Amino acid sequence: MIFLWFLLLTSAVSWGLTGFLRRYALARNLIDVPNERSSHSTPTPRGGGVAIVTAFLAALPLLNRFDLLANPVCLALWGAGCAVAVTGFLDDHGHIAARWRLLVHFGAAAWGLYWLGGFPPVSAFGYSLDLGWFGYAFAAVYVVWLLNLYNFMDGIDGLAGIEAITVCCGGALMVWLVAPDSTAWMLPVLLASAVLGFLVWNFPPARIFMGDVGSGFLGIILALLSVQAARIEPGLLWVWLILLGVFIVDATVTLCRRVLRGEKFYEAHHSHAYQYASRIIGAHQPVTLAIGAINVFWLMPVAGLVALEKLDGIVGLMVAYLPLLLLAYRYKAGDRLAQARDAE
């Protein structure tokens, strides 16, 4: 019962603080002004992700106080989340060079992985492989990539919020199915409640944007939650990768195509599949809701089969990603010509 009050309070704090931040952004002229690379057409306040960060991090010590969260996990999420959020906040208010942002991101990843106990063994086709020290390096790259791709994918109203809520609810359900005696399912639900309060303001048409402070924070917390789940049961890593499939596939296909063309992949652009889809439709809401539906009605059932060991993790990942790859190419992820035609 006490956890339910935690959820309600977290959502309420997030909702109220987002409203305050919107007024603050308007007063300080912290406005996202549309340009040729934007997916929105109306100047909109930014930085609302501070509400998600504050509501979620404030709840962690309370969960720890009531013995619902272990000290190492609390330290992992607090330290890594704060570092990334502060860097994103400063970048939202000015500019931080990409190399310094990446340095902080890798430092935050290393901190989180240290307190979580490192990267768990990888399970595939009935075998378990302990990657040793290579696992730490691989895990750090994985965490930083997920952090940054979440930033890349936060480009239309409500999308990052819907993704976080559906993935967190799916991840919590899978942890509960595999380890019903564990309290690890509470963290994804808590994060979803913090995002829900913000989403009230960000759902299309958005009245405030998340900003780098929010998207980067969600990216690293989701990555660390996936590692934590995999330490409970190695197969849960595949489950989280499946649940995050829409963002992973779109961002990865787009990045690969841009790199192969020799473009500066770190520069702003609007060539993701979801951006192309929103331009074709002429609205953000249908695309955001469609991605939420894909998560719930396609990715979550496949993840469930993997969690219940009805399907091998790698096989499940391929089954889940194949339609997403087809959609990425259908909606021209990373296609420079499509982007150029849209700009004409």
pLDDT tens for each residue of 252-268: 999 998 888 877 666 66
Tell me the CA distances in angstroms from 340 to 37, 282, 332, one per residue in order: 11, 17, 12
- Look at residue 338 in the predicted model and tell me its pLDDT: 53
Please give the average per-residue pLDDT across 172-194, as a whole number.
95
The H or E element spanning position 176 is helix 159-178
89-103, 153-167, 277-291: the lowest-pLDDT one: 89-103
Q: What pTM was estimated for this model as a whole?
A: 0.94
Question: Half-sphere exposure (CA, 13 Å, Cβ side) for 241?
Answer: 22
Q: What is the pLDDT of residues 116-144, one digit of tens each?
A: 998 888 887 877 777 777 888 999 999 99
In which band, very low, low, confident or very high, does the pLDDT at 332 lie, cut at 50, 70 and 90?
confident
Q: Is it the case that residue 318 has pLDDT exceeding 60? A: yes
Buried b (16+ CB within 10 A) or exposed e, 262-282: eeeeeeebbbbbbbbbbbeee
Binding-site residue numbers are: 151, 212
Which long-range contacts link 72-78 to residues 24+ away (Cβ below 8 Å)? Answer: 72/115, 72/116, 72/117, 73/115, 73/116, 73/187, 73/228, 75/115, 76/111, 76/112, 76/113, 76/114, 76/115, 76/116, 76/224, 76/228, 77/112, 77/187, 77/221, 77/224
One-letter amino acid identity for 94?
Answer: G
Taking Cα atoms as reference points, which of 60, 79, 290, 300 lies closest to residue 172?
300
Binding-site residue numbers for Mg(2+) are: 151, 212
Mean pLDDT for the chain overall: 90
Q: What is the pLDDT of residues 187-233, one digit of tens each?
A: 999 999 999 999 999 999 999 999 999 999 999 999 999 999 999 99
